Structure 1
């Protein structure tokens, strides 16, 4: 009876811990999805607003914003590596030397995705300078299709029929968004608007292709090696900084020489640069939420286990003492009463013998 109660309490404890972990994982997924949607939407709207804002001062350089974002990525990932090494500067320096400087071939593998990501980030500025935010946001979702195609060809993944159908519907939706609408107006203005939209459309399509290839290639590198994700991102950011600086000096070198790299920067520009570090800040928020979820679940499990063990031990000790005392008193009283009623003379004889001795 006691064993069955103990087993049932353990099963209830396991069910409660499983329920708590499932609730935490569900909340974590919802939180991650909400952060991703909020960040992506705010980035598109803010970037579009910054590229179409009319001011007396010169507009900021898109190439400069890309370089600034790469610097922030390197700083964030370095801080994360510093945290992973228990806030030890010596251990962090040793790790970076071992993984970056002493493994040049592994480091050079990140040059290809870094160059593609740098090109993609510059193309996104071109696209948002020539397309409205809604058209850009819908068209840029083609990166899901390109990522799926590259995953099938490079990683050997298999997609189900419903997944292929979803990708076809996505492509059809993007095509309908780009369908020309019959509107009145000057023909010359139509041609000018059409040429601007064509430039933006080509820029976002090239960004989708480059995003799909670079993402799958980077995932393949991560699966083939055992290096830390943050170290890989530092390598990626270093190459991105080099390529971005070269592109900035080639295309905007004269303007940088005349007015400086940070010409036209304001609060909106700084917001765009911070939001452009979307992969890292989004992943950082997910990483922190996962860490808090694991910490809280471990804390709750330890607390509940200690509390339940103390509670059960006290409860069982009190319960057993009361149960045994009542059981023994009733059993002995009944036994003695029956025994004395059946053999009273034998009982008194034994008592007299003991008294004589």
Structure 2
């Protein structure tokens, strides 16, 4: 999303504040009551995000990342504000979607078809805006190989699973599941791919 203005790992962790905004919108829009464990989890999440924003004192030049505390570092501040805006919009959209899913008689599959239909227009507009010349020259599916098709199918499957989770559980639970996936991805990135060095 905004990885040019904010270091990728910090973006991923900071973006998990969407769980906090989702909880806020769940309480205000759906009148949900959160138990003590969920409130404690939200407090720990906020503390974790704040910890990630602290400056690094590592000797590794790659680890000397931008921090919000750097003087004159407007790029990092712009990146952080963009992520916070995304957190609020994501929290609102997720809770609103949950409200629509649980508040109408339309089936989950029909709702997914409706969303997919309208998202096609946005996707085609972006293709026209950025890649229309390449599509005219080489066709729409240029560069697609078996790996790309696997990713497309996994993304489609993931969208259906998320819709089921939202329908039968809630957005807060979905957010914590995504956070767990980031932790697992970080371990894989550190132990097997050697492309992530923790600095705290």
TM-score by length of 2: 0.59
Q: Which runs of 5+ in 2 are unaligned?
A: 67-72, 166-200
1:127–1:201 Cα contact (<8 Å) kept? no
1:142 maps onto 2:17 in alignment: yes
Q: Which runs of 5+ in 1 are unaligned?
A: 1-122, 286-357
Deviation of the 1:226 alpha carbon: 0.8
Check 1:269–1:127 CA distance in 2 against 1; reply closer, same or farther (3 A cut). Answer: farther
2:7–2:65 Cα contact (<8 Å) kept? no
- Structure 2 residue aligned with 1:176: 51
Deviation of the 1:210 alpha carbon: 2.8
- Structure 2 residue aligned with 1:275: 154
Deviation of the 1:170 alpha carbon: 0.3
Q: Which structure's CA Rg is the greater one?
A: 1
- Equivalent-residue separation in structure 1 for 2:122 and 2:137 (angstroms): 21
1:232 maps onto 2:111 in alignment: yes
2:10–2:52 Cα contact (<8 Å) kept? yes
SS of 1:181 mapped into structure 2: coil
Higher relative contact order (CA 8 A, sep 6+): 1
Aligned length: 157
Check 1:190–1:229 CA distance in 2 against 1; reply closer, same or farther (3 A cut). Answer: closer
1:127–1:199 Cα contact (<8 Å) kept? no
- Equivalent-residue separation in structure 2 for 1:209 and 1:265 (angstroms): 34
TM-score by length of 1: 0.36
1:128–1:136 Cα contact (<8 Å) kept? no
- Equivalent-residue separation in structure 2 for 1:272 and 1:199 (angstroms): 31
Deviations 1:274-320 (A, max 9, x none): 232213146679xxxxxxxxxxxxxxxxxxxxxxxxxxxxxxxxxxx
